[in-house]
């Protein structure tokens, strides 16, 4: 067989395995909202860790990260920094959110904030902002899937078909099996992409430069400042780099598909996952090295940065077709492991944040149908952006983070600040989101600060100011969040006394 035929065969085999695992995991688990949304709140350490890791290490890892290393240089290291440290707050807030969610039967961010602030405008606003961000994030995964199929088959699988085929698999197992199907597919995908990333990173560097020291010495000599931040020759200022890290650090746990894992995991599982999670960052290192290795081997402008890794494999290096296929399978695994979690969570936020506010007493089976329908509709919107939109993978990702980080003031206030009020939260969310979108799409960011951080600053100022200017919320709503341990202990004592 020709190289492209080997590649296509292996990638299709991977898709078949991913589909079978997803269908198997969800088989016979019943049709309850709790099972679809949070897998019965019983996920263990292996599944939780792979689900969290797979949800973050996505198409941007295999394609966007090498692309930024090749095109932007040192700023690509922001990915390592926020990946290693962004999940640390989960050690503290995760178990607390779990207790609140279990007590009130919650499974979304919108439901969490509605229960705390008791204002129907908040879940609708959360769902709308989340949907905009989800569609951007999901589009990055579809673009990644399309790039892989197109390049690894020498253009024989068109861009539109590659995205449609891979995402179609995700839709099938997510719509039928919910979170559990996505989780077990992510276990398989996480193992595959970690192994393949290290093989590819080592092979690329050795073939093109002989060693990493020789590679970086060559880059430093030929492109002064390219491996530095904020100096002459650098592609990003120190302010832009720092605030890019900051928006990612604060925003990572605000993503609904990660936030909701607090509901599905036991407190001890959450804490163990936080401790082992930075290990996933190791898989990004060889992918960044592959991007740096392309400097000098490929002329800037000859290839779209997001396509640099598959371009190296197919056009620059001497590799057999079966290895093409393994690289393609690894990249598809990275994209699909995020796409399934995003699609699942987007359908829940839309249903819980919008539909349930219109029809609060919707029967459980109708709720399930709505969630499954939303999977297809939201995916369709992302597909159109992926096929017809022009932004690169990292640009789409950072744009999505700028939106989602606006949830942070509301979430942390719900957990720790008694004086926060619904009007303050609503105004903060609106102002923060609008400022972010303005500096993302209309004007140049002030002082080179990331648009999401500019929005976040405005969000906090407005929320705090208006919260102090409005009537404090009811004490019972506050205690069930800020003092959840005390509330649970009192309820347990009351049940014991009654018995």
What is the distance, to the nearest Å, from the Cα of residue 329 to the centroid of all Cα atoms in its chain? 19
Is the pLDDT assigned to residue 37 strictly greater than 60?
no
pLDDT at 55: 61
Higher per-residue confidence, 478 vs 319? 478
Over the stretch 184-203, which tens digit does the pLDDT of each residue have? 666 777 777 777 788 888 88
| pLDDT bracket for residue 4 (50, 70, 90) | confident
In a domain, 423, yes or no: yes
pLDDT at 5: 85
pLDDT at 355: 84
Of 54-58, 415-419, 435-439, 442-446, the least confident: 54-58
Q: Which tokens hold the place of 299?
A: 């002329």
Of 35-49, 120-134, 155-169, 181-195, the least confident: 35-49
Of 110-114, 116-120, 275-279, 454-458, the least confident: 275-279
pLDDT at 254: 92
Higher per-residue confidence, 184 vs 323? 323
pLDDT at 81: 87
CATH number at residue 398: 1.20.1730.10
Give the rounded percent of residues in the chain with a pLDDT score beyond 90: 29
pLDDT at 169: 76
Q: For the full predicted model, state whether its pTM sits above 0.85.
A: no
Higher per-residue confidence, 95 vs 142? 95
In a domain, 475, yes or no: yes
Give the HSE-up count for residue 208: Cα atoms under 13 Å, Cβ half-sphere.
29
| pLDDT bracket for residue 32 (50, 70, 90) | low
In a domain, 43, yes or no: yes
pLDDT at 85: 86
Over the stretch 87-97, which tens digit does the pLDDT of each residue have? 899 999 999 99
Higher per-residue confidence, 77 vs 48? 77
Range of the domain at 66: 3-487
pLDDT at 35: 59
Over the stretch 413-433, which tens digit does the pLDDT of each residue have? 999 999 999 999 999 999 999
How many Å apart are CA 285 and CA 194, to the nearest integer? 11
Rounded alpha-carbon distances, angstroms, from residue 92 to 157, 174, 186, 415: 46, 29, 25, 11
| pLDDT bracket for residue 498 (50, 70, 90) | low
Is the pLDDT assigned to residue 50 strictly greater than 90?
no
* Mean pLDDT for the stretch of residues 41-56: 67
Of 17-31, 222-236, 329-343, 408-422, the least confident: 17-31
* Mean pLDDT for the stretch of residues 372-399: 69
| Domain count within the chain | 1
In a domain, 493, yes or no: no
In a domain, 370, yes or no: yes
In a domain, 495, yes or no: no
pLDDT at 462: 98
In a domain, 496, yes or no: no
* Mean pLDDT for the stretch of residues 133-152: 78
In a domain, 102, yes or no: yes
pLDDT at 349: 86
């Amino acid at each position: 067989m020709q190289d492209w035929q080997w590649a296509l065969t292996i990638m299709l085999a991977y898709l078949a395995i991913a589909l079978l695992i997803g269908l198997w995991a969800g088989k016979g688990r019943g049709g309850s909202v709790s099972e679809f949304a949070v897998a019965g709140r019983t996920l263990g350490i292996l599944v939780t860790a792979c689900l969290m890791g797979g949800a973050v290490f996505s198409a941007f890892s295999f394609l966007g990260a090498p692309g930024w290393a090749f095109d932007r240089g040192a700023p690509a290291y922001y990915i390592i920094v926020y990946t290693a440290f962004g999940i640390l707050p989960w050690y503290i807030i995760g178990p607390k959110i779990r207790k609140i969610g279990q007590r009130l039967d919650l499974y979304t961010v919108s439901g969490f904030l509605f229960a705390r602030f008791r204002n129907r405008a908040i879940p609708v606003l959360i769902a709308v902002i989340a949907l905009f961000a989800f569609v951007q994030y999901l589009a990055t995964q579809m673009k990644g899937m399309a790039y892989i199929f197109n390049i690894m088959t020498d253009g024989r699988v068109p861009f539109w078909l590659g995205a449609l085929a891979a995402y179609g698999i995700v839709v099938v197992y997510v719509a039928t099996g919910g979170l559990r199907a996505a989780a077990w597919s992510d276990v398989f995908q996480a193992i595959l992409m970690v192994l393949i990333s290290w093989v590819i990173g080592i092979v690329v560097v050795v073939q093109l430069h002989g060693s990493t020291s020789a590679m970086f010495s060559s880059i430093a000599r030929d492109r002064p400042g390219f491996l530095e931040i904020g100096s002459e020759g650098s592609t990003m200022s120190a302010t832009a780099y720092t605030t890019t890290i900051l928006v990612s650090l604060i925003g990572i746990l605000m993503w609904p598909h990660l936030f909701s894992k607090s509901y599905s995991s036991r407190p001890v599982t959450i804490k163990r996952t936080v401790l082992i999670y930075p290990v996933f960052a190791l898989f990004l290192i060889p992918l960044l090295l592959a991007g740096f290795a392309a400097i000098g081997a490929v002329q800037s402008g000859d290839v779209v940065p997001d396509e640099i890794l598959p371009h190296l494999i197919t056009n620059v290096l001497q590799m057999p077709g079966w290895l093409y296929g393994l690289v393609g399978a690894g990249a598809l695994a990275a994209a699909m492991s995020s796409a399934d979690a995003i699609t699942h969570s987007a359908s829940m936020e839309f249903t819980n944040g919008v539909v349930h506010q219109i029809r609060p007493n919707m029967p459980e089976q109708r709720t399930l149908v709505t969630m499954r329908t939303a999977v297809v509709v939201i995916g369709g919107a992302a597909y159109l952006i992926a096929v017809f939109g022009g932004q690169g993978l990292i640009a789409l990702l950072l744009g999505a983070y700028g939106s989602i980080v606006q949830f942070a003031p509301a979430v942390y206030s719900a957990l720790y600040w008694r004086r926060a009020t619904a009007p303050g939260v609503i105004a903060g969310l609106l102002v923060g989101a609008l400022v972010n979108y303005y500096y993302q799409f209309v004007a140049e960011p002030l002082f080179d600060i990331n648009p999401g951080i500019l929005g976040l600053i405005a969000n906090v100022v407005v929320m705090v100011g208006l919260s102090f200017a409005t009537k404090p919320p009811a004490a019972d709503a506050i205690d069930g969040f800020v003092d959840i341990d005390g509330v649970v202990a009192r309820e347990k004592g009351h049940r014991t006394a009654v018995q």
